[in-house]
Amino acid sequence: MSELIMAVVFLSLVPACAYPMAKLRKNAEENSRETQRNMAFILNLGGYLIAFLAGKIMHCSEMLMCVLFSYLLAVLILTFLNKICKIRASGHACSCTLPYLFLSYWLNGVTILICMILYGIEFWASVQLKRHTVSEFLAGSITAFVVFGITALYLGFF
């Protein structure tokens, strides 16, 4: 149970704090979408790093360590792409595509179809609501596929 609580806190709650924290900024100019994105990158990196280290210390299951490792790797790659290469890749797209890939791999069957439908809905909503462009969403999704492949090779489940 402690593994589950740790994962929820550091993979979900800590990153979700980026948006309220961005709103606490006094300067209206600082409370932009870009400020939210920057805050999200900082809290995701911190939360995912702590989750990975805590997972190692707690001797979490191999499956959970796979998820923790992949999320840490994803945020490192996304940070590199977005901040160094100036390629806007959606962290949201990556963080929703990764679980779909793991679920499809681990559960097979009808799960793959359900994940594809959910991905399609998220893709449509993100573009329709203008949170991301098609290329940003696809770049984040491709990042998830790359991370999934690296994780699979590194942890030997391919």
The pLDDT tens digits for 18-44 are 888 877 765 655 557 778 888 888 999
% of the chain residues with pLDDT over 90: 77
% of the chain residues with pLDDT over 70: 95
C-alpha to C-alpha distance for 38 and 40, rounded to whole angstroms: 5
As given in the structure block, the two tokens for residue 2 are 């402690």
Contact by Cβ (8 Å): 76, 91? no
